[in-house]
Amino acid sequence: MMNNARQAIAYAASQLGFSGMGIAPAQADQGNTLADWIAAGKHADMEWMERHLPARLNPELVLPGVRSIIILTYEYPRTDARATSGRIARYAQGEDYHKLLAGKLADLDETLQWYGGQQRCFSDSGPVSERFFAAQAGLGWIGRNGLLIRPGKGSYCFLSSILTTLELPTDAPMPNRCGSCHRCEQACPTGALQHGSCDARKCLSFWTIEAKSPTPAHIQAQQGDRLYGCDACQEACPWNRPQAQSYIDPHLLMPAPLAHMPAASMQELNQAQFEQLFTGSPIRRIGVEHLQHNISGLTPAETSP
């Protein structure tokens, strides 16, 4: 029966555009890595990570009776679509993936309900250690940049998780294949990556997206022309070498107005214009003032077309 449930969810996921699926036992031991990372203050001012730590370490607190965690991958573009100044992280070039994937996960929830399961579904939106469980589910390994790296596919993907009370057949983890490569650490502009851990207090993605305080001068000096996020560690990873992608959801492609608007023009946006330009985009959540703060750190040459 549970083999049938696994086959059904795998088929449904592929039809919905998910590129991979793996299943891990909900009670897999996460060790002390996350707790030690937070204790060291490497989560910066993202206090919600500390607040939700018990649930992240114990999925039973998220879904009582949980037995299995299904992890799904969904591809996003590998190429930078910006045709002018100002870089935007690839994952944020199109529509907000949280909303895009929520409906797909709801469909998969219905499939599992047919087999008697109770579920909770997330896509980077709940207290679930999705990268840890993705590695446990054999989808790849966690690289020195802290991201899930998949052989032949790299790290340019979203992760979604389905916690279920069904005890489904699980997958085996694969060995870490980073070897002696340290290119991601060497490529990080601010030295945020060390010993396989990312220190958010130094990370440009944190400062251009999550931070609630002004960017320190020594961090801003390394920002380059980044407006939102940073892909430096992904761009340096050999597993992300250029390769054709069989399918990219058109909702994740950058709209032409954003692709061609120079950073200098974004600096002049008022609130209404900002909301119109970024309707449906994850960038909208940082607000016009934060975006303009990010732009203010660029040199004139970096804001011009």
What percent of the chain has pLDDT above 70? 98
Is 124 a residue of the active site? yes
Longest distance between any two alpha carbons in the chain, whole Å: 63
Q: What is the DSSP string of 214-278?
A: PPPHHHHTT-TTEEE---HHHHH-GGG-S---S---GGGSPPHHHHH--HHHHTT--HHHHHHHT
Q: Please, what is the Cα angle at 94 between 209 and 244, to 5 degrees?
A: 115
3-state secondary structure at position 291: helix
Q: Residue 298 above 80 pLDDT?
A: no
Alpha-carbon distance of 134 to 60, in angstroms, equals 18
Cα(70)–Cα(171) distance, rounded to whole angstroms?
Answer: 10
Domain boundaries, the chain: 2-164
Give the type of residue at 95: E
CA 62 to chain centre: 20
The residue type found at 102 is A
Q: What pLDDT does residue 158 have?
A: 98
For the entire predicted model, the pTM comes to 0.95
264: buried, middle or exposed (CB in 10 Å: 19+, 13-18, 0-12)?
middle
* C-beta separation of 171 from 8 below 8 A: no
Residues 99-136: tens digit of each pLDDT = 999 999 999 999 999 999 999 999 999 999 999 999 99
Which of left, alpha, beta for 159 (phi over 0: left; psi -120 to 50: alpha)?
beta
Distance separating alpha carbons of residues 302 and 258, to the nearest angstrom? 16
Residues in CB range of 278: below 8 A, 6 or more apart: 258, 284
- Virtual torsion, Cα 24, 29, 35, 36, nearest 10 deg: -120
**Mean pLDDT for the chain overall:** 95
C-beta of residue 278 within 8 angstroms of C-beta of residue 271:
no
Q: What is the separation, in whole angstroms, between the first and last Cα of the chain?
A: 59
Residue type, 88: I
* Residue 55 pLDDT class (50, 70, 90 cuts): very high
pLDDT in tens, 225-272: 999 999 999 999 999 987 777 789 999 999 999 999 999 999 999 999
For range 14-37, the mean pLDDT: 97
User: Catalytic: which of 124, 171, 225, 249?
Assistant: 124
pLDDT at residue 183, rounded to an integer: 97
